[in-house]
Amino acid sequence: MARRKNSLTRFLEDIVDDTKDFVDDIVDRAKDVETDVRKAARNVVDDDGASSGKKSDTHGELADLNAALAELTAQVNALAAVQLAGAKA
């Protein structure tokens, strides 16, 4: 296998090429995110299938999620207190 001679200019060229590839990947991902956000915003604004019954269901689901979150928060706080007491002992 032939060895490649590395010079300072080749090293800098590799850094610039890798940086360009990195920036291209970031820009591509940003475009994908922008497209997904626009689709999500369009879906939120678009209420073609929404009815008054559906809205109340969503409100009920949100209340259920808030209750579950409060219960989980209480459990996490209790576990943290137990862990803190165990660490002090």
pLDDT in tens, the chain (89 residues): 556 677 999 999 999 999 999 999 999 999 999 999 999 888 888 765 555 555 567 888 888 999 999 999 999 999 988 888 877 76
- pLDDT for residue 56: 62
- Per-domain residue ranges for the chain? 8-45+61-88
Torsion angles phi and psi, residue 13, rounded to 5: -60, -45
d(CA 63, CA 55): 13
Q: For the whole model, what pTM was predicted?
A: 0.42
Residue 65 C-beta-side C-alpha neighbours within 13 Å = 6
- pLDDT for residue 49: 55
